[in-house]
Structures are given as C-alpha cells and as structure tokens.
Amino acid sequence: MDIISIKDLYVKYRMAKKYALEGINLNIKLGESIGIIGPTGAGKSTLCACIAGLVPNLVKCDEFNGEVIVNGLNTKEKSVAEICQHVGIVFQDYESQLFRTTVLLEAAFGPENLGLNIEEIKERVENALKWTRLTGMEKKYTFALSGGQKQRLAIASVLSMLPSILVLDEATSDLDPIGKYEIYEIIKNLKKEKPITLIMVDHHLDRITEIVDRVIVLNNGKTIYDGKPREIFSKVDELIEMGLAPPQVTEFFHRMNYNKEYPINIQEAIMNTPSKWKVKPLIEKEVKKYSNIPAIEVIDVWHSYEPNIWALKNINLKIYDGEFIGLIGQNGSGKTTLAHLIAGIMSPTKGKIKLFGEDVTKQTILKRGRIVGYVFQNPDYQIFSNTVKEELEFGPLQLKLPREEIEKRVKHVMKVLNIEDIANEDPFFLNKANRQRVAVGSVLTLNPKIIILDEPTTGLSPGETRKIMELAKDLNNMGVTVITITHDMWVVAEYCERTIVLHQGEIKMNDSTRNVFSKIDELEKYFLKPPQITEYSIKKFGQPFLSVEEIISHINIEEDKNA
Amino acid sequence: MPKYALYVEKESIIHKIDPRAKILWVLCVFIWSMTFNDPLWTLMIFIIVFSIGLISKTLKEFKFAYPGMISLFIMCLILWPLFRRMGNIIIFEFGPLIFYKESFLYALAVGIRLCAMILAGLIFLATTKVEDLEVGLVKIGLPYSIAFGVSGVFRFIPTLLGDGQLILSAQEARGLDLRSGSIFSKLRKAVPIIAPLLVTTFRRTGELAMAMESRGFSIRGKRTSIIQIKFIKKDYLFTIFNIILTIIFILLRIIGYGAIIPQVL
C-alpha cells in the first residue's frame, strides 16, 4: 500500500519567478525510509511541506497543481489540523520550533490540542521522551537544553502525536557530530519499534546510509534520481557536479578507479580495500610561514552570563597573523562566546584580550570592527539595504572614506565574492548561500585584518559550503587571519591549519588539524568525530589523511610482479 | 543564554497563588492606584505592592527595569504640572508657565501610581509561568488562541531582545555609530537595526507558525490542558482580601480622602 502518493505536482510560491516543484511523481510505501538530497533551492523543503500539508494550506502559493495523497487524505482538501495527525514534521532551526518553557509541556502540546484525557497525554509524552532519550528531563527548561537535546525534543513533540509518517527537514544540520549521531540512533531504534514511514532531508550521506533504504535526488524542482542508496551514491561525478557530496570513502574508491561495487561506509571500505593499494609515508605540505606577530592574544579570560556559571574558564590563546583557525566543539561549549569576546561584542568578565599587541579589552566594538570582521551564522542579522551594492558600501560610508576608495573596495570585494551579477538585486530575496556571501562582503569592505566566520555554512549544500570556504581561503592567502566556527568536520580538515577544541568552556585541544583529528578517542570525549576519510585512513593505513585528495596522492598501486 | 520570559523560579507563596487570583490582584492594584491622587496615598499603594514583591523574592530581578521606572517618574514630575494646571498655591512662575503646588503634588502621585502599576505587572510576570498565565486566561473565558498569543508574547520577548542585541553588535562592528548625532540622525540610523530585526522576526514567526500548526494548534474542539489549576482556600482568601480593600479604597475616595485635586482621577 502506498502511504504517500504524489501525482504531477507543480508548486509556485507567491511572487516567485520559477516553480519550486515541477512535475513531481512519487509513491512511498508504508514503512519505507527515504533520504532526499539535492542542492539548495532544489525543492526539498517544499516537498516536505507539501507532504505535511503546510503547502498549500498554510503557505499560500500562486499555483498548486497535482495531487498529494497522504494516508488516503488529499492534502489540498484537508486542513493542517487533520493532516498533522498523520504526518509529523521537524525543521532545521530548533530554536523557533520550541515555544513552551519545559520539556514536558513542549511534548504535551500536540496531544493537548487533540483533546485527549490527561492520562493518555502523560503516557504519550512518556513514550515520546523515551524514544528520544529525554526521559528524566520532563521538568527541565527548554532553554537549558543542549542543541542536540532541543532537536530531540522537537522530534519528541511530534512523535507524541503518533504520526505514521515522520519528516525530518534538515533536522541535523545545526548539530554537532555527536548530536547528529544521536538523532540517527534514535531514528534507527524508532524504526525497529514502530512501522513508521521516514522521510529525511540531510546532507550527510555517509550517515544516512545506515538508515534509509531509498534515496531521491532533487534538482531544480524535479526528481533526478530515485533508487537504492548504493546505486545513487555510486554516481560520484554526477553528485559532485550538482554540488552534493557522496560519502568520502565512496568518492575515494571511485577516483581510484575501483572496478567493483563501491563501499558506502567505513566498514565496507576497510574490508574491500585492495591489498595492492599501498600508502606512502605522509609528506606534510610545505608549512606556511607565519609572521611571529600574534594577531590575537587571549590572556586568562573567564566569562560568565550568570553568577558562578562559567561559559569560559581560564582561556589562554595566541593566534598569529595570517593563520587559518578552526574552532570546534559541542553545541554550547563556548565557541561563539569566545568569538564574541574576540570581536568585542561582549567584554570578558575577567582577563585581557590583545589585538596586534594592543590591549583592547575595554575598547568598543565600533573601533574594533575595523580590525575584526564578524560574520554571523544568520546573515539576516546584518542585511538591511535595498541592493547588494548598498549593503557593501554601508561600512566604508560609516567610516567616511572618500568616494573613490569606497568604489574601489566594493568593486574589489564583489569580484572576490563573485557577486557582480547580483549587485543591484534586493538581498532579501536572494537564497541563503548568496545572502551569506553578501554578509561576508559587507564585512570585507571594512578591510578587516581578522575575520571570524560563525558557522558560515550551516544549511548550505556541500557545493555551496566549498564555495564559501574557498573564498575564506583566498582571503587568508591575501594575509587575512581567519577563524571559523563550524560543525562540518570535513571543512575543518580541508581548510584549517590549526584546530582548537572547546569543551564545557575550556580549551581541550589546540594543535595542528592533523594531530587533532588523529586522536579519535579523545575527540569522542568532546562529542566530536573526525571526517570519514580520516577515520578510514587511520583505521586502514594507520595514517591520518585529511581529504580524499590527499589520500589519493599518497597511494601507490603495487602491480603484482608475478603476473 | 536567553531565559524565557520574566519568570523567576523561587519558593514563595506568591508563586503558588492561582494565576486567576493574581490577574485579579493586578487589576485591583490598577484600580487602587487610580483611586487616589494624593502622593501619600499612592505611596501607600506602592508600599503594598512593594511588600508583595518582597514576599515573592523577585524584586532583585527587576534591575533592568528600575532605570526606566525612575526616568518615567521624573518625566511625570516635569510634564504633569504643565498639563494639569490647577490649584491655588503658586510655587513659581516662568513667563506663561505657572507651577502650582497642587499640580506638583498631583504629578508626584501620578508618578508613584505608574511605578506601582508597572511593579505589580512585573511581579505578576516574575511569579507566573507563561503556561500558567495561559491556562488562567482560558479558565477566565478567553479563547485558547488569544490566551496562547498573550503568553506567547511574553515567551518570545527575551528571544527578540537577544536578536536585537546581536544585530546591534553586528551593525556597530560595521561602523554604525548610534551614540553621536542629533535625535533625527539617530532615528535614521535605527534603520540598519530595525530592518534586520523585522526580517529575522518575520522568518522566525513563519517557522513558528509551521511548527505550531503541524502539532495541531488549529484543531477545533475541546483542548485538554496538562496543567491543572485549582482555586483553593488561599486563593479565595487572597481574592476576597483584594476585593474588600478595593471597596474600602473607593469608599474612602468618595467620602473625600486621598485626593489632592478631587475633580479628576
């Protein structure tokens, strides 16, 4: 029986120039687990919203043609109130999905609306919390939960509606590696207990292979591929072309011209690595010479938001001019706090901060902004102008620079960012990747010597992530010191020379990226995991390679001499 | 880390009082403060409210609000005598402006009155969880969607403040100088703050609506609430006490006590 059946679905949002979905046909059987992948703007979220009935019932569109039948209900004719008893949907941003104050009340909200009796509500909440491993936290305030717990609570609060279909629309994107892993674990266990149908949009293909039994690739509102995970992930070149990332081990085997079925996870890769693939000793790339001028010095810094609760404890850190630093750690480990202190968004409770030797602890952000540029995770925090060009001009205008100088800077930045063609567009209507570029640009025109990127790639597809990071690399090559906060470990592995691990407000690791990612066990203590290819190369060859590129350049295929 | 709303977790009798009784108390404080316009009498009302605050152990948490209350108080002292020009005893004259003693005392009373009302509101929010407020409003007879809206406003104020703070920092880092310039140039400079705040809130609200709807917010029919509130003996006592006080205060005013300028509230 098909639990979801979509026929010739065309969706065009209000004011949109093109269709978000263009002729989707899809049948999903009861109990199937589907992974949906595709670049940003492919229509993944729209498809999820259509299945949940939010489109066209809540979000109005100019055009909604075709049919979406969910559990026998035609979504166009039913209300969300009715459909939500069959479909539970969870979104990326856990902050805006939680609106009650305690865990118990959040999970009970749905069943309360159903008008069930209290005993049944309590039972459902208890089960939902058990499935999401939140038992015992009923009385906790939701703001006191970690990011991963918040997202699990968002899942619990739809599971308490007992849906037969669960839709996760990039529910893991904002989470640290272990937070993601826990979500996958609870989903796997849930599948064992209930015949629930699962639809998940996720960019982390290496992980979802363990869960989904069918993958759909969307691009430009159309279904491009639909098949078994192995079949889809083996189309390495096609996926990369679209800006998607197949599992790293799959890409590796493909590029080594492996002629049998590609592995799609670490275990398969380790078992199937041909014995004639020999690895050369690791040749470190030429070590970049930094000036020995410290750009940032953090000296004995402590910070607290509430009395006696330290968000940062005794931080001592030197970052040299021209370095590219990765700042990683669990959600809530203090990464953003540290970055805010460096940028002057807040002053530390105790301790000193120096920039290029000058004590700036008490300096206002107004002054410090000329040295440190800060790009927020949410580009909407910065953007307000009518056109992209005006947005870029804003900073230099405030500094009252001469007109020619402003023109020169804006032109240069637009060229670096490759946004010349959208110079006169309204940034509000750009997609997130482009808004993020505009936000970066608006900081760059101030010519900062240090730039901090606070999770710049959250919610972007791997292809777009790469573009933003390439940009950061170009800036770094021009001499700008870059600090990036991210949960994408492959980003750190490929771009950052030094990695700092924060855990519960303390610096736990501070070393070259390779050394940090070599210590798998230690990382796990801090809820982190190295990229798949690094884990694979350590386990198989005993050497930590940081990218597919790197491992390929170190492999020799030993021809069998007797043959 | 943003906290939700103004709720302060403390063990106090005020926290335990039924939200309905507390809503009525706030209304009573409003009536009491409006009943009198003699500063000594409004001061008495303020002291009553202040003592309730002391009992609730939440007064320390309102530090953020005190500067605002004080400036409001000073504004009252300056502005009211200009508009409410009544009385017999002139303190001083300044061209066409005449300051009477009565109007000055009246202004003092109004200043204290407003502070008492604000403080009562703060105490209410600090001792009542947003969900309890919601349940209280529903029990009083408001439709659930309105009750949810009211409590939701308080729930999201801290989120909004947090966003505002970050946006301010983001724009200051880009050279926006809000501290200098005339009031008009300051207003113009607010655009880079207001626009992103609106956009952020707009996007947030959209996502919130989807999350709520997909959890059955708009299901019609009877809604159960997992929070059970009961009006018990202490709530009755508290309410009856408030009502009696209200009647006494109104009677006192009618027979002529507590008013500097008897013709107005």
The pLDDT of residue B2 = 44
Lowest mean pLDDT among A259-273, A407-421, B84-98: B84-98
Residue in A84, A96, A117 nearest the CB of B224: A117
Chain B partners within 8 Å of A428 (Cβ): 199
Considering chain A, what percentage of its residues have pLDDT values greater than 90?
64
Contact call for A141 and B207, based on CB within 8 A:
no
Amino acid (1-letter code) at residue A94: Y
Alpha-carbon distance of A437 to A326, in angstroms, equals 19
Q: Which long-range contacts (CB under 8 A, 24 or more apart) does B237-240 make?
A: B238/B17, B238/B21, B238/B25, B239/B21, B239/B24, B239/B25
The pLDDT of residue B1 = 36
Residues in chain A: 563
Alpha-carbon distance of A151 to B230, in angstroms, equals 33
pLDDT category of residue B104 using cuts at 50, 70 and 90: confident
Alpha-carbon distance of A53 to A55, in angstroms, equals 5
In sequence order, what are the beta bridge partners of A328? A501
Q: Is pLDDT above 60 for A562? A: no
In sequence order, what are the beta bridge partners of A68? A6
Mean pLDDT of A120-138: 94
Mean pLDDT of A318-335: 91
pLDDT category of residue A288 using cuts at 50, 70 and 90: low
Helix (H) or strand (E) holding B205: helix B191-213
CB A496 within 8 A of CB A324: yes
Q: Is pLDDT above 90 for A222? A: yes
Tell me, rounded to whole angstroms, the distance of Cα B81 from its chain centroid: 24
Contact call for B216 and A81, based on CB within 8 A:
yes
| pLDDT tens by residue, A379-403 | 888 888 999 999 999 999 988 889 9
The pLDDT of residue A457 = 81
* Chain A residue nearest residue B145, CA to CA: A113
DSSP state, A221?
T
Mean pLDDT of A309-334: 92
Q: Is pLDDT above 90 for A363? A: no
Burial of B254 (0-12, 13-18, 19+ CB in 10 A): exposed
Place of tokens 């591929």: A225
Decide: helix, strand or coil at residue A169: strand
Mutate to test the interface with B, among A83, A89, A124, A380 (most CBs of B within 10 A): A380
CA distance B237 to chain A (A): 29
Q: Is pLDDT above 60 for A42? A: yes
Burial of B2 (0-12, 13-18, 19+ CB in 10 A): middle
The pLDDT of residue A210 = 82
Alpha-carbon distance of B81 to B98, in angstroms, equals 9
Q: Is the bond preceding A56 in cis, omega lying within 30 degrees of 0?
A: yes
Q: Is pLDDT above 70 for A561? A: no
A 158-187 near B (Cβ less than 8 A)? 158, 161
Q: Is pLDDT above 50 for A332? A: yes
Mean pLDDT of B25-40: 94
Place of tokens 């390929």: A552
∠ CA B167-B172-B174, nearest 5°, is 100
Q: What is the mean pLDDT of chain A?
A: 90
Q: Is pLDDT above 60 for A14? A: yes
The pLDDT of residue A287 = 62
Alpha-carbon distance of B48 to B119, in angstroms, equals 11
Crossing angle (nearest 10°) for helices A335-343 and B144-173: 50
Contact call for A305 and B1, based on CB within 8 A:
yes
Please report how many Cα atoms fall inside a 13 Å half-sphere around the Cα of residue B105, on the Cβ side: 20
Place of tokens 């970050």: B166
Chain A partners within 8 Å of B177 (Cβ): 366, 398
Alpha-carbon distance of B246 to B238, in angstroms, equals 12
Contact call for B152 and A97, based on CB within 8 A:
no
Mean pLDDT of A372-377: 90
Answer whether A35 touches B (CB < 8 Å): no
CB A304 within 8 A of CB A505: no
As for the ipTM of the complex, it is 0.82
pLDDT category of residue A322 using cuts at 50, 70 and 90: very high
Nearest to A29 by CA among A150, A196, A163: A196
Q: Is pLDDT above 60 for A364? A: yes
Residue in B2, B209, B216 nearest the CB of A161: B216
Mean pLDDT of A114-137: 94
Mean pLDDT of B192-215: 90
Backbone angles phi, psi at A418, to 5 degrees: 60, 45
| pLDDT tens by residue, B155-184 | 888 888 888 888 988 898 888 888 777 777
Nearest to A343 by CA among B173, B67, B148: B173
Helix (H) or strand (E) holding B67: helix B66-83
The secondary structure of A40-89, three-state, reads CCCCHHHHHHHHCCHHHHCCCEEEEEEEEEECCEECCCCCHHHHCCCEEE
Give me the total of CB pairs closer than 8 Å, taking one residue from chain A and one from chain B: 176
The secondary structure of A101-153, three-state, reads CEHHHHHHHHHHHHCCCHHHHHHHHHHHHHHCCCCCCCCCEHHHCCHHHHHHH
Lowest mean pLDDT among A77-81, A290-294, A506-510: A290-294
Query: What does R_g of chain A's alpha carbons equal in angstroms?
Result: 25
Helix (H) or strand (E) holding B206: helix B191-213
DSSP state, A262?
P
Q: Is pLDDT above 90 for B246? A: yes
Burial of A463 (0-12, 13-18, 19+ CB in 10 A): middle
Both tokens of residue B228? 């059970």
Helix (H) or strand (E) holding A231: helix A229-233
A 191-230 near B (Cβ less than 8 A)? none
Mean pLDDT of A207-234: 92
pLDDT category of residue A560 using cuts at 50, 70 and 90: low
Both tokens of residue A204? 């982390």
Answer whether A114 touches B (CB < 8 Å): yes
Number of H helices, E strands in chain A: 23, 22
Both tokens of residue B73? 């108080």
Alpha-carbon distance of A158 to A43, in angstroms, equals 23
Backbone CA torsion sign across A438, A444, A446, A448: positive
